[in-house]
Amino acid sequence: MNFKSLAVGATIAIACIGAFAQAASAPQTPRVDKREAKQEQRIEKGVASGELNARETNRLEKEQAAIGKAEDKAKADGTVTAKERRHLNKMQNRASRDIHHQKHDRQKAASAPAA
């Protein structure tokens, strides 16, 4: 199994978990969900283009999983407070910066063509 298949599979699994959580009539967090999806797409594009190596991708995926856990925890009591939304936003801001940094550093995937 190659790394791209694993990354795509993990992305689909995360998306399914998010859809299931919403279907269970939990509080809605559409902005958080939209940003999560966009950040996952950015990671996928980085893997496809060779801008992200396996180690960077793993680290970014773990960060996305932590955001998902924090979102689930915020929803657990049936409401997402303004403080919890600010915390989630801060986590996503950090993740966005990390994705940008990792995609634009000099490290490339081993199979990426040299420029």
Of residues 49 and 18, the one with the higher pLDDT is 49
Q: Domain limits at 23?
A: 3-103
Q: Is residue 70 part of a domain?
A: yes
Q: CA-to-CA distance for 15 and 105, rounded, in angstroms?
A: 28
The stretch 3-30 carries a mean pLDDT of 66
Q: Is residue 110 part of a domain?
A: no
State which H helix or E strand residue 4 sits in.
helix 3-23
Q: Is residue 11 part of a domain?
A: yes
Output the pTM of the full model.
0.72
Instruction: Inform me whether the pLDDT recorded for 1 exceeds 90.
Output: no
Q: Is residue 112 part of a domain?
A: no
Q: Is residue 28 part of a domain?
A: yes
What's the structural domain count of the chain? Answer: 1
CB atoms within 10 A of CB 49: 12
Asked whether the beta carbons of 60 and 44 are under 8 A apart, the reply is no
Q: CA-to-CA distance for 51 and 107, rounded, in angstroms?
A: 7
Instruction: Inform me whether the pLDDT recorded for 106 exceeds 90.
Output: no
